[in-house]
Amino acid sequence: MVDKDKLPRHVGIIMDGNGRWAKQRGLPRTEGHKKGAEVFRDISTYASELGIEYLTFYAFSTENWKRPEQEVSVIMDIFRDFLHEAQDRKAENEEKGFRFRFIGDMSKMADDIKMLATILEADSSDKSHTVINVAANYGGRSEILRATTRIAELVAKGEISSEDITEDMFSSMLYTAEQPDPDLIIRPSGEYRLSNFLTWQSAYSEFWFSDVLWPDFTRDDFDKALNDFANRSRRFGAV
């Protein structure tokens, strides 16, 4: 059972372990990504049912372009399938109150993916029960550089002064502007690092790690993370 009075508002999830899951079963790495996409859909639905307001899924990093071309191509096809499926399930997603947002440098994506993502964002823009951020071609450092560049341009134009630059102002330049920072970040697969995920926003996040590979991640695992979070004392630097 999950204590719904102590739920995090915003949960970030690093969907890791797809390739290893496939390798353990003698399957191509691409099969792990396909299975991981199914888990993404299920956990999104479950989190929304619990009442979690914001979810950010690390789907594809700025570094993932270094992977084999075939693997990258399959991941992009999975994006396409997800976007087409979201269109097919438009009524269902509207009933759930899903708002979809894509954070990261989408300019490097294929034109059809950019178009489908833009349509999905627009179609769901009036929903607010659960915001689902899909971090695609995302990197925390590049996000910080992007925000810094935007602020420098405003200073150069004389629209703001250096005294106007505050943490809140900086946060307003990030992809997650107007959203609360993640309370909890979940990383399955036995790795213990952020991997360039929500670098600025995670300053006071709680972390939960598991050896479970993402394709094997279940609602029970999600419950364990939430229950662990509910038992932590968050002081934000205070006593």
**What are 171-210's pLDDT values in tens digits?**
999 999 999 999 999 999 999 999 999 999 999 999 999 9
Residue 152 lies in a domain: no
Residue 196 lies in a domain: yes
Q: How far is CA 160 from CA 27, 157, 174, 233, in A?
A: 55, 8, 17, 38
- Residues contacting 236, CB < 8 A, separation 6+: 204
Residue 174 lies in a domain: no
Residue 158 lies in a domain: no
**What are 21-61's pLDDT values in tens digits?**
999 999 999 999 999 999 999 999 999 999 999 999 999 99
Residue 33: give the domain boundaries: 7-139+182-230
Task: Note the helical H segments in the chain.
Answer: 18-24, 29-50, 69-88, 90-96, 111-123, 140-156, 167-171, 219-230
Q: Is the pLDDT of residue 122 over 70?
A: yes
Residue 162 lies in a domain: no
Residue with tokens 């005294």: 163
DSSP state of 182: P
Residues annotated as part of the active site: 16, 64
- For residue 54, what is the domain's CATH number? 3.40.1180.10
Distance separating alpha carbons of residues 37 and 59, to the nearest angstrom? 9
Q: How many domains does the chain have?
A: 1
Q: How far is CA 81 from CA 74, 84, 124, 182, in A?
A: 10, 5, 18, 27
Residues in the chain, overall count: 239
Distance separating alpha carbons of residues 239 and 127, to the nearest angstrom? 38
Give yes or no for a contact between 196 and 139, defined as CB atoms under 8 angstroms apart. Answer: yes
Place 234 in a pLDDT band, splitting at 50, 70 and 90. confident
Q: Is the pLDDT of residue 235 over 90?
A: no
Residue 148 lies in a domain: no
**What are 126-152's pLDDT values in tens digits?**
999 999 999 999 999 999 999 999 999
